[in-house]
Amino acid sequence: MFDAINKKGYKVLDALVNNAGEYADGKFDNLDVWEGQIKNIFMSQVYMSNAFVKKGRSKNIRKIINISSVYGIPEMGNPDAPHYSAAKAAVVSLTMNLAKKYGPGILVNAIAPGYVWTPPWKNTSKEELKACEDLVKIGRFIKPEEIATMVVELLNNDAITGEVIRIDGGLHLTYVR
């Protein structure tokens, strides 16, 4: 991908937004689901970050923004999808370690969304959607543009690195007592 970008004449890469992940639930002993979630969610962000660090060139401060999940924050793990939670937690750890290693030239942060209204939710039953909304303190799904607003803020701000910013509408408050 980076080679293709360079071939198109773009010689400067200031930012990478790593947004990968498909939620999969399943039994703990289903190793195929574990492998798929780790590859899809975590390893894709490792590969892209590695390429960005090596091939991205800029005179500016460069930025990596990883999209994790509220379920990747340790106290929030989802026992019905331990593979998803573990892969997203690995993204949180990757974020912290890249921020430590590559700062100040590359600032690395993560966003940990809660329930975001994206196409996969469209086939979900009304009952399940309502149950999710009832868990969220704002009483609704997060809009994709609300996540995008934070991405833009992180791209514009040179004073934030090594942070995981929760945008979950208060979902975490349901679990923290």
Sign of the alpha-carbon dihedral angle for 5, 159, 103, 69? negative
Active site residue 102: no
Q: In what order do the strands lie in the sheet with 15-18?
A: 15-18, 62-67, 106-113, 164-167
DSSP state of 140: S
Going from the C-alpha of 102 to that of each of 50, 76, 141, the distances in angstroms are 11, 28, 34
From 84, 102, 115, 175, active-site residue: 84
Question: Do residues 144 and 67 lie in contact, with contact meaning Cβ atoms separated by under 8 Å?
Answer: no
Catalogue the active-site residues.
84
